[in-house]
Amino acid sequence: MTVRLTVAQALVRFLAAQYTERDGQRQRLIAGCFGIFGHGNVAGVGQALLQAAETGEADLKYYLARNEQAMVHASVGFARMRNRLQTFACTASIGPGSTNMVTGAALATINRIPVLLLPSDFFATRAASPVLQELEDPRSYDVSVNDAFRPVSRFWDRISRPEQLPSALLAAMRVLTDPAETGAVTLALPQDVQAEAHDWPEELFTERIWYLPRPLPEPGALGRAVEVLRGARYPLIVAGGGVIYSAASQALREFAEATGIPVSDTQAGKGALAWDHPLAVGGVGSTGSPVANALAREADVVLGIGTRYSDFTTASRTAFQHPDVRFVNLNIAAFDAAKHAGVSLVADARAGLEALTEALVGYRTDEAYRVRAQELNASWQRVVDEAYHLGHQPLPAQTEILGTLNEFMDERDVVVQAAGSMPGDLQMLWRARDPKQYHVEYGYSCMGYEIAGGLGAKLAAPEREVFVLVGDGSYLMMAQEIVTAVAEDIKLNIILVDNRGFGSIGSLSSSLGSQRFGTSYRYRDPDTGRLDGGVLPVDLAANAASLGADMIRTRTVKEFAAALEQARASDRTTVIYLETDPLAPVPSSESWWDVPVSEISALESTQQARSAYVAAKRNQRLYL
């Protein structure tokens, strides 16, 4: 039996019938579709979504986004909160509408988060070429702007004929549900093909379940890993995002308690073990805690679990300084498991931890090592308390704002952040009590992710309060999804921190001898010709209010705390605005990040920074 539908109608009906199942729990794979319509998709996917809603032939809810990049971020935020078991589709028009999604695609793939992108394309028949917004490449008629998605997608295809759709859809679902190979999946849809009718087998639209297994470690690899771990005197765990996506927090806690190995975490892994557990030592690497970094420098064995070892995690390969350090890498992706010439343990994080716990019975670190870690941590927590209650004047320090929010939030509330100086301060200082409380996108660290990502997080967990932290630089790049939140009656608590420019890059610029050049929002000085004149009269609070959010202006930490109470009590999206001092002190991570400094310079500040850079570079090493 066949059913006659357009390609777009068949696409929508297929997506509505896809499910995932892990540990016996079944859920929709594609929870809905974000979209912005133009001539490339309004009569294709747009018509199909309308028809599905009007007739009930397919249950795929449509959400009107305000920015194409932002709707991909929202999908990523949603999928991350759902442990990559669910995601959204995103449809955009031909040309700029579609290429606006490329940044979001890169973010999804770098973070290993599934998202389905449906960019519209030129006419497959070429009957009207060149159509409006079509790229003309004299080397080939088969190239469009959507080819830009190829390097940032885990799967890419162009549907030039209706007959190609079934195989492309099945391949797309395979990648979306593959925990080792997932990321952005792009199906480019020529606008004439979207509207073309075809006879489809009914089997294409039957409910299909994509089972997500928990691969067990291969016995030989497990034995090699156990041998290395049993010989460790000063081991350290680096818990990455894979621990959380695998729902392996309990298994991690049981393993740590059985072996006595301290647990550090990455940006994606923060919260995998509650901050106040006796074996939790905080973030590791460039923006980590001095405790984790001290233990990392001395570690003779590093057990990385679900981490890809980014340069921030390894402090640009200076974090682990033991001359004979060895790595054991438990990861579902063989690519990551093989990093740093480590003993590769390819397995699901939870299944792998359970196997390691059983195989390491009888092994436990020395009490003196555990006591030292706890003493270092107790001393560090006093530093965190001081940073949280600094009493900085006349404007509050950013650490005070983070501390006030951290102490205010409930265990199951969610904080969302992505870029600027806040991710570093958050990894160093934040006390996460739940695996889903800390939501910082730092794989791509994309300015503008925050509000859109918070929207997705709230869609995924409507029972949780979501607090979005966004700096002025990120806010000005992408605040439009406030409108979507208001339109859909999706409540967000947005904390808009104004430090008059790119405070994070300003600090980095200063440390590299570039004197904060070009990092402040200021007029151009007519005398010097430089952007160091008066402060621009930009009213971000008024802008947020104009987008439909409730607005609370605050100036002091006390007013900020009261505003948090008011925002929680409200059922509307609320923006809390406050200014902070970008020059306020922040504790040191006692670590490093490799950002090259000019080898020669006429500026004394750059010369001094270069000397410091060369000295730090001596600690960098390969792990062979």
H helix runs in 127-282, sequence order = 165-176, 191-194, 219-230, 241-245, 249-259
Strand partners for 494: 468, 575
Other Cβ atoms less than 10 A from the Cβ of 598: the count is 15
Per-residue pLDDT tens digits for 21-44: 999 999 999 999 999 999 999 999
**Over the stretch 278-303, which tens digit does the pLDDT of each residue have?**
999 999 999 999 999 999 999 999 99
Cα–Cα dist 399/388, whole Å: 6
For residue 190, say if its preceding peptide bond is cis, omega within 30 degrees of 0. Answer: no
Question: Beta strand 18-22 with 30-35: parallel, antiparallel or unpaired?
Answer: unpaired
Hey, what domains does the chain have and what are their CATH numbers?
2-211 (3.40.50.970), 219-378 (3.40.50.1220), 390-500+536-579 (3.40.50.970)
Whether the per-residue pLDDT at 506 is higher than 90: the answer is no
Cα gap 36→90, rounded to integer Å? 9
pLDDT exceeds 80 at position 484: yes
CA separation for the pair 339, 361 (Å, rounded): 27
pLDDT band for position 147 (cuts 50, 70, 90): very high
Residues 583 and 399 sit within 8 Å (Cβ to Cβ): no
Helical pair 367-388 and 422-429, crossing angle rounded to 10 deg: 130
pLDDT at 502 over 70: no
> What is the average pLDDT score of the chain?
95
Stretch 186-201: mean pLDDT: 97
Q: What is the dihedral of CA 521, 455, 184, 65, to 10 degrees?
A: -80
Over residues 111-123, the pLDDT tens digits come to 999 999 999 999 9
Strands 30-35 and 87-92: parallel
Sheet strands side by side (includes 208-211): 25-28, 18-22, 208-211
Q: Say yes or no to pLDDT of 503 above 70.
A: no
pLDDT tens, residue by residue, 239-259: 999 999 999 999 999 999 999
Q: How many CB atoms lie within 10 A of CB 378?
A: 10
Residue type, 444: Y
Three-state SS at 301? strand
- Find the helix or strand (DSSP H, E) in which 187 lies: strand 184-190
Confidence at residue 196, expressed as pLDDT on a 0 to 100 scale: 97
Return the residue matching tokens 């010989």. 231
Does this model's pTM top 0.75? My answer is yes
